[in-house]
């Protein structure tokens, strides 16, 4: 069945709205929607990674324009994250570790619940961000190996360390460009350019949504953003745990 081009645009728009505003779940959202349309997993993976390079670039520029980026933190995330992504992409063909997913899901589930509880108290402590480079390397690696994880792991950890959500989300989105680019370069030989419509549709939809999502991040109250991020992480984690054990 042939999927109309505008459907890919809508998928890209929805995925980027979620990712740009909450700092996570572009891959999960777009992949889930594309798979539900009947596309093969290999096509979905190649298309999402290719489109993500451009959408994360536009999203990063948009967050920079609205003042949502911590520049010092950006470099601490980008380079280690890109390194972890390249290592993960290189090892992917030789690594079969499905047991990683439930472990990551349980870890994120705990952090998600913690964020929801924190949302009721607000940001009443100074941010003490630690182990940034280590988190970035692990998140980049898992993003390449597991098809996702950069946003949930980095954004959730930064917010859990009392960083204001708008800066955590904006900085993580900007750093994701470098991670996606590194992964895509390694995977370049596997991209199937017969599916240009899928990639272009995701690109156009993401480009439309990115500026508005960045604006939304700036204006959403921190406690609301924290609660939404926590709830999203909990839902995603529960779905991943259920898929693994069922």
Kindly report the three-state secondary structure assignment for every residue of 67-103: CCCCHHHHHHHHHHHHHHHHHHHHHHHHCCCCCHHHH
pLDDT, average across residues 181-196: 72
* Closest among 106, 89, 110 to 46, alpha carbons compared: 89
Instruction: Look at residue 139 and tell me whether its pLDDT is greater than 60.
Output: yes
- What confidence score (pLDDT) does residue 124 get? 55
Q: Is 18:32 a contact under the CB 8 Å cutoff?
A: no
In this predicted model, what pLDDT tens digit does every residue of 83-111 receive, in sequence order? 998 898 787 656 656 666 677 678 778 87
Q: Give SS3 for 121.
A: coil
Instruction: Look at residue 192 and tell me whether its pLDDT is greater than 60.
Output: no
User: For 143, how many CA atoms within 13 A lie in the half-sphere containing its CB?
Assistant: 36
Task: Report the 10 Å Cβ neighbour count for 226.
Answer: 26
Tell me how far apart the alpha carbons of residues 145 and 239 are, in angstroms, rounded to a whole number: 18
The radius of gyration of the chain's CA atoms, rounded to the nearest angstrom, is 17
Confidence of residue 178 (pLDDT cuts 50, 70, 90): very high
Tell me how far apart the alpha carbons of residues 80 and 66 are, in angstroms, rounded to a whole number: 25
More confident: 193 or 77: 77
Task: Report the 10 Å Cβ neighbour count for 196.
Answer: 11
Threshold 0.85, pTM exceeds? no
Instruction: Look at residue 80 and tell me whether its pLDDT is greater than 90.
Output: yes
In this predicted model, what pLDDT tens digit does every residue of 140-170 receive, in sequence order? 988 777 666 788 789 888 888 888 888 998 9
Q: Is 244:105 a contact under the CB 8 Å cutoff?
A: yes
More confident: 25 or 170: 170
Alpha-carbon distance values, 18 to 26, 104, 138, 229, 232 (Å): 7, 21, 23, 10, 10
């Amino acid at each position: 069945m042939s999927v109309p081009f505008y459907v890919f645009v809508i998928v890209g728009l929805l995925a980027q709205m979620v990712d740009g505003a909450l700092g996570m779940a572009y891959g999960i959202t777009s992949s889930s929607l594309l798979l539900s349309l009947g596309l093969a997993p290999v096509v979905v993976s190649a298309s999402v990674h290719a489109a993500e390079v451009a959408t994360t670039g536009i999203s990063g520029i948009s967050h920079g324009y609205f003042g949502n980026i911590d520049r010092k933190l950006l470099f601490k995330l980008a380079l280690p994250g890109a390194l972890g992504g390249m290592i993960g992409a290189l090892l992917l063909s030789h690594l079969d570790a499905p047991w990683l997913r439930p472990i990551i899901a349980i870890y994120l589930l705990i952090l998600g619940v913690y964020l929801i509880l924190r949302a009721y108290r607000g940001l009443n402590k100074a941010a003490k961000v630690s182990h940034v480079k280590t988190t970035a390397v692990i998140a980049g690696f898992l993003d390449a190996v597991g098809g996702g994880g950069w946003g949930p792991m980095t954004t959730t950890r930064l917010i859990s360390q009392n960083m204001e959500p708008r800066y955590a989300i904006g900085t993580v989105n900007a750093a994701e460009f470098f991670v996606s680019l590194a992964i895509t370069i390694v995977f370049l030989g596997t991209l199937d350019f017969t599916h240009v419509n899928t990639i272009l549709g995701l690109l156009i939809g993401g480009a439309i949504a990115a500026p508005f999502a960045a604006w939304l991040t700036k204006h959403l109250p921190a406690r609301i953003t924290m609660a939404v991020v926590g709830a999203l992480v909990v839902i995603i984690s529960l779905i991943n745990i259920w898929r693994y054990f069922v």
